[in-house]
Structure 1
Amino acid sequence: MPLGPRPDDVPRIRLVLKLFRVSAIVTGVFLLLLVVMMVARYGLLVDIEYSDAYGFGLTPRELIEERGSLNVSLVILTTHGWLYVVYLALNFLLWRFARWSFGRFLFIALGGIIPLLSFFFEFSVPRWVRAELAKVEAPSEVPA
């Protein structure tokens, strides 16, 4: 059962929420790049290449290795992986400080796996957090 945030954690929650929103956008952009890369790699059997001589292009993997060019597909793959780790860490901190259910943590974690979902969470998670913080920051009613 979710307990809600503690009053002492409100400043931390606000900071983590700002970082989470940035992380959700950046992770979402790289996830979309990853989808394009996967379609190129497994659908067209090419990787995205960059070299000074040839510029950007879609090239079979063997040619990229022969030319010694930068395999942009691997850069996208690796970068998204590390950005997702940051996204998960910020999700964990929000979950811990807001004291949400574990199911909500898992639900938000899907944002770095399902394309476009992180953009949805970039808008919906702040609403959830503001609702939780409103409960904590509301003046308690004192019976007369």
Structure 2
Amino acid sequence: MSETSTSKPTASTASVTSALLRYRVLAWITGLWLLLLVAELTLKYGFDVDALDFVPIVHGWVYFVYLIMAVDLAIKVRWPAGKIVWTALAGTIPFLSFFVEHQRTKEVKQQFGI
């Protein structure tokens, strides 16, 4: 099968636009909470300060919602499995979610003419 026939999206432009917006918002929120998690772990294990104990729990839940939004977008635009996995992992590595969000947004906007 050719590349164009397997990756042809079936969703409307409006549903892709709203899914992209949700994904972008969650990518940024996840990235920010991940940076806060790094700060919390640095304080906890580097300086023995337990001031931000809530951060790991919040980041976990935010990451869970990020995964849902990423999969929602992936289904609408028909990403291959490797791209879905890479996008999902982006929320676990500091600063990577910002970079991957920018890449995915650029790709989807180009693909749909948004």
* TM class, shorter-length: 0.7 to 0.9
Alpha-carbon distance in structure 1 between the residues aligned to 2:101 and 2:78: 19
Q: Deviations over 1:73-97 (max 9, x none)?
A: 2211111111101110010011111
Q: Deviations over 1:26-46 (max 9, x none)?
A: 111110000011111122222
Q: Is the 8 A contact 1:19 1:90 kept in 2?
A: yes
Alpha-carbon distance in structure 2 between the residues aligned to 1:121 and 1:130: 14
Give the AA of the match of 1:15: S
Give 1:118 deviation, angstroms.
1.1
Tell me which residue corresponds to 2:66: 87
Who wins on radius of gyration, i.e. which is larger?
Answer: 1
TM-score w.r.t. length of structure 1:
0.70
Q: How many residues are matched? A: 110
Which sits farther off after the overlay, 119-128 or 32-41? 119-128
Tell me which residue corresponds to 1:120: 99
Does structure 1 residue 98 correspond to structure 2 residue 82? no
Tell me which residue corresponds to 2:21: 18
Tell me which residue corresponds to 1:35: 38
Q: Is the 8 A contact 2:40 2:53 kept in 1?
A: no
Give the AA of the match of 1:81: G
TM-score w.r.t. length of structure 2:
0.87
Give 1:47 deviation, angstroms.
1.1
Alpha-carbon distance in structure 2 between the residues aligned to 1:128 and 1:4: 13
Give 1:16 deviation, angstroms.
0.8
Any gaps of 5 or more consecutive residues in structure 1? 49-72, 138-144
Alpha-carbon distance in structure 1 between the residues aligned to 2:100 and 2:12: 21
Any gaps of 5 or more consecutive residues in structure 2? none
Q: List, as ranges, runs of 4+ consecutive aligned residues in structure 1 with deviation greater than 2 Å.
A: 43-46
Q: Is the 8 A contact 1:5 1:132 kept in 2?
A: no
Q: Is the 8 A contact 1:5 1:133 kept in 2?
A: no
User: Larger helix proportion, structure 1 or 2?
Assistant: 2
Q: Deviations over 1:54-109 (max 9, x none)?
A: xxxxxxxxxxxxxxxxxxx2211111111101110010011111111010001111
